[in-house]
Structure 1
Amino acid sequence: MNIEQIRDYCLAKKGTIEDFPFDEDTLVFKVLGKMFALVSLKKWEAGETTINLKADPEYSEELRADYNSIRPGFHMSKKHWNTLYLHEGELQPKLILELIDHSYAMVIKGMTKKMRETFLS
């Protein structure tokens, strides 16, 4: 997958915006102000295609055990975030999209009940 495919997929999700809150290099996708995906554009340009995604801690452990290309989140909470090393070629596009969906769902799940009801209506 390339960065444009990931960008288009993330932005197609309800309420998603892209932002550069840290610097001009780190592209962040947010839903209702909460991050669900981060990409270093400089790393992508250099061929190190990675994406940081939020994940349920138990699911994170399973993913890390099953895939060498999924590791604890780089510069993120190791419990709640994973870094996917896409350039290693192990992860199929379908799985990458599923993990983006999971990250997005984790952020929605973490909202207050009232926010979720308003957002999902």
Structure 2
Amino acid sequence: MDYTQVQQYLLSKPFTVQQYPFGEGVAVFKVKDKMFATLAVGKMGKGDDGKQDWWMNLKCDPHEAIMLRDIFAAVIPSYHMNKVHWNTVILNGSVPQGEIARMIDNSFNLVVSKMTKKDQQSIVVHL
């Protein structure tokens, strides 16, 4: 998946908004004010030569996070986030599109699962 495909998929999630609280270079995706993804060129928007890959941070179950890092070289402990609960996925074409979509879904669902029952119900209706 490229930047545009990932951005569209992230924004297709119910109640998701894209914001820039860390500056122009880092897009943050939130569901009901809770972050579930970031998207930037290189490490938190520090890409400078126009040739760097997009990096996406996603929330992840700690056991699955380790497994994904073992399977995919482009999945690493998350830059600038809690490395136990977040992975960085480098969008360089080496991770299959379906796997990236699955990781996004899991991140979204993990964040939603920690919300109040009322908020969860209002989101699940749209899935």
TM-score of the alignment, normalized to the shorter chain, above 0.5: yes
Question: Could you tell me which residue of structure 2 aligns to residue 50 of structure 1?
Answer: 55
Distance across 2 between alignment mates of 1:79 and 1:22: 22
Q: 1:1-121 counterparts in 2 under 5 A?
A: 1-41=1-41, 42=45, 43=47, 45-87=50-92, 89-121=93-125
CA RMSD of aligned residues (A): 1.6
Q: Across the two proteins, how many residue pairs are aligned to each other?
A: 120
- For 1:110, the aligned partner's letter is K
Deviation at 1:97, TM superposition (A): 0.8
Instruction: Note the alpha carbon deviations across 1:8-56, whole angstroms, 9 max, x for none.
Output: 1111111111000111110011100011110114439432221111101
**Identical-residue share of aligned pairs (%):** 36
Gaps of 5+ in 1: none
TM-score, normalised on structure 2?
0.86
Gaps of 5+ in 2: none
Q: Which runs of 4+ in 1 moved over 4 A?
A: none
Which is richer in helix?
1
Distance across 2 between alignment mates of 1:9 and 1:114: 24
Distance across 2 between alignment mates of 1:46 and 1:68: 19
Distance across 1 between alignment mates of 2:5 and 2:21: 21
Distance across 1 between alignment mates of 2:74 and 2:53: 12
Distance across 2 between alignment mates of 1:117 and 1:96: 25
Distance across 1 between alignment mates of 2:4 and 2:91: 14
Deviation at 1:116, TM superposition (A): 1.1
Distance across 1 between alignment mates of 2:91 and 2:67: 18
Distance across 1 between alignment mates of 2:18 and 2:37: 10
Deviation at 1:117, TM superposition (A): 2.2
